[in-house]
Amino acid sequence: MRVLVAGGAGYIGSHTAVQLAEAGHTPIIADNFANSSPEVITRIESLVGKVEFHEVDLTDRRATAELFASCRPDAVIHFAALKAVGESVERPLDYYETNFGTLFSVLGAMKEAGTKILVFSSSATVYGGDHPPFTEEDEELVALSPYGYTKLASERILTDVAAATDLHIGLLRYFNPVGGHPSGTMGEDPRGIPNNLMPYLSQVAVGRREKLTVFGDDYPTPDGTCLRDYLHVMDLADAHVAALERLAKGDISVRTWNFGTGKGTSVLELREAFEKACGRPIPYEIGPRRAGDRADSWADPSRAEEELGWKASRTIDDMCADSWRWQSMNPRGYGQ
Ligand code: UDP
């Protein structure tokens, strides 16, 4: 299939573009590099050969429609959105404009071009229940930040659109994607001080940060630090291919799938695994809790296994080894 990867220069999008090509599909990447770098395209091409790339601002409806008219994709995987929870609290309007703007442009352009398949990036942040594991059937959903609200509302918008059209839509709820391509060619490259744990650990290991601050050790968990379901980005990239191929069968209107391993790992456990992977000490201190953090979150990933034949296969050690390979080979990320 010709697959438009909207936001394909981003962290998950770039790995997905590579896995699409490996699976025999043709990725067509669109990005405006708002939170990424043209170097990503070079890296993708070093792995899978020449790819079609378009520099487009996907909040621009006319430009998006023209893109679809010229490349006529069979399907869209829509990653193009802002994703930092804390920043969304400070700049809510930017988040609403960008995340809804790109969604509306893509839906409008799909209608004009007759594209029927859409895979949408959602997030486990929508789960509001007290206790994991979370299943797709959980009814207690929350929006704890403007970012979270864009995901929750986009799911609702897409559910309404699916009911009224003949589109085939997948809502993919990601848990905590980490790691990078096993070659060390691609990985996560946050701008500024990383918000997320894995890139922070990598930057401490490579000497860019002095030490990790663990946000709270008084949670009701075995070691007092928060539990999360870390998932290798290559497994997540494969999940997009599996969802796309399932939607292409044509019998699904809209369906939600969780993507996680089904296991929780604590902050201290991840730190220790990373230390082992990089062979360097990762100094840390215990700090106060971070506002908005929940104690634990992990997926029930059984629906994805039953319906897509997808199961996470990479371990926490693989995730740390690949994050470290990426960071040590590219200490400054895509800026090298
Ligand atoms: N965390 C931490 N120090 C950091 C960054 C994150 O202790 O510098 C903790 C955070 O409190 C959470 C876990 O690591 O318990 C995962 O955080 P991340 O931001 O990566 O994912 P999310 O909270 O969005 O699930």
pLDDT tens sequence across 216-238: 999 999 999 999 999 999 999 99
pLDDT digits over 146-177, tens only? 999 999 999 999 999 999 999 999 999 999 99
Banded pLDDT at 336 (limits 50, 70, 90): low
**Three-state DSSP state, 228:** strand
**Which of 203, 217, 228 to mutate to test ligand 1, by most ligand atoms within 8 A of the CB atom?**
228
Which residues, at least 6 apart from 117, have a Cβ–Cβ distance to it below 8 Å? 1, 74, 75, 76, 167, 168, 169, 244, 247, 248
> CA-to-CA distance for 196 and 176, rounded, in angstroms?
9
pLDDT digits over 38-50, tens only? 999 999 999 999 9
Question: What is the per-residue pLDDT for 288?
Answer: 98
Mean pLDDT (whole number) for 186-198 = 96
Which residues, at least 6 apart from 54, have a Cβ–Cβ distance to it below 8 Å? 28, 29, 30, 67, 71
pLDDT digits over 297-324, tens only? 999 999 999 999 999 999 999 999 999 9
Residues within 6 Å of ligand 1 by CB: 176, 195-197, 200, 212-215, 226, 228, 267, 290, 293
Taking the centre of ligand 1 as the mean of its atom positions, its distance from the CA of residue 111, in whole angstroms, is 39
> CA-to-CA distance for 190 and 207, rounded, in angstroms?
16
Residue 224: CA atoms inside 13 Å, Cβ hemisphere, count?
A: 9
> CA-to-CA distance for 299 and 132, rounded, in angstroms?
7
Cβ neighbours around 250 below 10 Å, total: 9
Residue type, position 266, single letter: S
For the CA of 225, the closest atom of ligand 1 is: 15
> CA-to-CA distance for 243 and 274, rounded, in angstroms?
30
Banded pLDDT at 333 (limits 50, 70, 90): very high
Question: What is the per-residue pLDDT for 332?
Answer: 94
> Which residue has the CA at smallest separation from atom 23 of ligand 1?
293
Per-residue pLDDT at 187 exceeds 90: yes
pLDDT digits over 258-301, tens only? 999 999 999 999 999 999 999 999 999 999 999 889 999 999 99
Q: Which two tokens stand for residue 219?
A: 């949670």
Banded pLDDT at 52 (limits 50, 70, 90): very high
Taking the centre of ligand 1 as the mean of its atom positions, its distance from the CA of residue 119, in whole angstroms, is 26
Mean pLDDT (whole number) for 87-92 = 96
Question: What is the per-residue pLDDT for 90?
Answer: 96
Question: What is the per-residue pLDDT for 263?
Answer: 98
Question: What is the per-residue pLDDT for 204?
Answer: 98
Angle at 243 between CA 229 and CA 4, to 5 degrees: 110
Taking the centre of ligand 1 as the mean of its atom positions, its distance from the CA of residue 309, in whole angstroms, is 30
Taking the centre of ligand 1 as the mean of its atom positions, its distance from the CA of residue 302, in whole angstroms, is 25
Report CA-CA distances (Å) from 119 to 104, 116, 167, 215, 268.
14, 10, 11, 33, 34
What is the edge-to-edge ordering of all strands in the sheet holding 75-78? 52-55, 26-31, 2-6, 75-78, 117-123, 168-174, 254-259
Please answer whether residues 121 and 21 qualify as being in contact, where contact means their C-beta atoms are separated by less than 8 angstroms.
Answer: no
> CA-to-CA distance for 41 and 112, rounded, in angstroms?
28
**Three-state DSSP state, 1:** coil
Please answer whether residues 330 and 336 qualify as being in contact, where contact means their C-beta atoms are separated by less than 8 angstroms.
Answer: yes
**Which of 127, 226, 233, 319 to mutate to test ligand 1, by most ligand atoms within 8 A of the CB atom?**
226
> Which residue has the CA at smallest separation from atom 20 of ligand 1?
196
> CA-to-CA distance for 336 and 333, rounded, in angstroms?
5
Q: Which two tokens stand for residue 79?
A: 């990653």
Q: Is 125 exposed, middle or buried (0-12, 13-18, 19+ CB in 10 A)?
A: buried
Mean pLDDT (whole number) for 116-122 = 98
Please answer whether residues 303 and 258 qualify as being in contact, where contact means their C-beta atoms are separated by less than 8 angstroms.
Answer: yes
Of 158, 177, 166, 165, which is closest to residue 256 (Cα–Cα)? Answer: 158
Taking the centre of ligand 1 as the mean of its atom positions, its distance from the CA of residue 328, in whole angstroms, is 22
For the CA of 175, the closest atom of ligand 1 is: 25
Banded pLDDT at 33 (limits 50, 70, 90): very high
Please answer whether residues 67 and 38 qualify as being in contact, where contact means their C-beta atoms are separated by less than 8 angstroms.
Answer: no
Residues marked active site are found at 147
